Amino acid sequence: MRGRPKRKRLIRFLPEINYFKPAGIPLKDLSEVILSLDEVEAIRLAELENLDQEEAANKMKISRITFQRILHQAHKKIAESLIYGKAIKMKGGEYTMPNLDGTGPQGQGPMTGRGRGRRVQAPRQGLGGTAECVCPKCGEKSPHNRGIPCTECKCSKCDTPMRGVFCR
């Protein structure tokens, strides 16, 4: 017998940087720990947003005990990578992410099969928690455009790809 299918978790954050590794060790010599995007969202809500488990679980549309289990798995994976010097790769997981206008994966807007046959290009989801984009070469700052990753924007002064500065 199989259990019921996993309910997809609602996440509202995609990290711009999705890989961390110990400094000074070549990537080919490292083991990897995969941190799913729903685990990243649980860490963000619990540790950065300081939400209690009930509030965070409601934001992710899951039960409190499921949130607790996801958070525990994430902490264990992070501890394993720190203690044993493993790389952390953030990808995958059972999740949905609403488009910037609140439609899409929730089954109400474009690309959900409920339209009238017109294809509407949805905005890109390369958001994250950044407030502004900064040039790593000259330090030029520009406001972050929601839906476009900072790395796809070029500096107006030196034409270098920008980097995100994260909100606190």
* Secondary structure letter of residue 162 according to DSSP: P
Q: In which domain, by residue range, is 161 found?
A: 130-166
Annotate 45-101 with three-state secondary structure: HHHHCCCCHHHHHHHHCCCHHHHHHHHHHHHHHHHHHHHHCCEEEECCCCEECCCCC
Average pLDDT, the chain: 79
Taking 3-state DSSP, the helix, strand and coil percentages for the chain, each rounded to the nearest 5, stand at 30, 15, 55
Residue 113 lies in a domain: no
Q: Identify the residue whose tokens are 């809500």.
A: 45
Verify that 90 and 153 share a domain, yes or no: no
Calculate the dihedral angle through the C-alpha atoms of 49, 129, 80, 75, rounding to the nearest 10 degrees: 20
**Domain membership flag for residue 110:** no
pTM for the whole thing?
Answer: 0.61
| Domain-terminating residue out of 71, 96, 121 | 96
- Going by pLDDT thresholds of 50, 70 and 90, the confidence category of residue 107 is very low
Q: Are both 161 and 88 inside the same structural domain?
A: no
pLDDT, tens digit (0-9, with 9 covering 90-100), for 115-131: 444 444 444 444 455 57
Q: What is the CATH number of the domain that holds 36?
A: 1.10.10
Please tell me the total count of domains within the chain: 2
90 and 15 within one domain: yes
Domain identity same for 20 and 76: yes
Q: Say if residue 24 is in the same domain as residue 76.
A: yes
- Residue of 48, 40, 49 lying closest to 19 (CA atoms): 40
